[in-house]
A and B are shown apart, each in its own frame.
Chain A
Amino acid sequence: MTLDVLVDTLPAAPDRANPVSPTVAGDQFSVQFPARLGEIGPLISMIETVGRWHDAPGAVVYGLSVVVDELVANVVRHARPDSAALLRVSVAFSGESVGLAFDWPGESFDPVSFETPDPHARSDLDDPPVGGLGLCLVQAFAQEMRYRRDGDRNVVVFERRYERDRSVMALPPRAAKSVLSPGDGVQ
């Protein structure tokens, strides 16, 4: 089953008594899907729906969607997951903070450890390497990013606190407060 089908099954509000294939546990939403680029659109649609459940500001949902796009694209292009591998995404809102966790089986691949060029150092069209923009965007949204190995799985966690009516896309000093449950929602 692809995420396209699952998107249509998501209720306007979380139905905790009858969770569909994406699961809702407390304030945590999880879904797993084949690691391929075509799943990005439906996954973003799901993030938008979950954001509405929690009355999250549009800027926060947009930032989450950017992280989802960049992470899935990186895993598909660079992590060489097994063709049958399922990538799992969990989202947890807690007050005015949100956590996003990805995990997938396969070779060790840490997508948050790469150095990114300073985007504001470039002064000319011919300056910038085209690469590096994705992680730059992820860093602009996430106040905290962590990677770890869990058995044969890769686990990446992003966290962000936010205030309503404020832009969340910035290059902030790093500060973090954990909002995901122990185990980062990837039991």
Chain B
Amino acid sequence: MTEALRLSTRRIEADAAEFHVVELAGRLDSANAHQVEKAILRLTEAGSNVVVNCADLLFVASSGMRAFILGARSAKTQRRVFRVAGLIPHVSDVFRVTGLYRILDIRPTLEDALDQPDAVALGS
């Protein structure tokens, strides 16, 4: 049975860049999407590079994708990186049919999302 949402954040330094990783697990539905949106926007509006790790995210509906879109837009405004990592197949399908695969920066794994040269460097 799909668990309720679990959300946590941590800071990681990788390749001379600093990222805040938002870990999502369980079910991101319309009842809890606002909580995720707030957590993501708090980081992006503060000028952080953000990776949302979805490796343990088992369900997402459109309200959850709204959080990703708004986070990516906010990061773009701040000239920071916003990436989504580790989508499982069912969740990946949702991103595909809504066209978000083409406009969001989606990486296969968290390691891929952190190990990239185009991240904004520390202190820039």
Contact = CB atoms under 8 A, between A and B. Distances in A.
Nearest to A45: B1
B46 interface: no
Interface in A3-43: 37-38, 40-41
B14 interface: no
Contacts of B90: 58-59, 62, 169
For this complex, into which size category does the number of interface residues on chain A fall? 35 or more
B19 interface: no
Interface string B60-86: 011101100110110010000000000
Contact of B29 (A58, A69, A125, A137): A69
B124 interface: no
Nearest to A139: B97
Contact of B59 (A62, A133, A140): A62
Contacts, number: 95
Interface string B95-117: 01111101110000000000000
A134 interface: yes
A132 to B, nearest CB: 8
Nearest to B70: A130
Given A69-B29, A73-B61, 7 more contacts: A119-B97, A128-B99, A134-B63, A137-B97, A140-B97, A167-B93, A169-B96
Interface of A: 37-38, 40-41, 44-45, 48-49, 58-59, 62, 65-66, 69-70, 72-73, 119-128, 130, 133-134, 136-137, 140, 167, 169-171
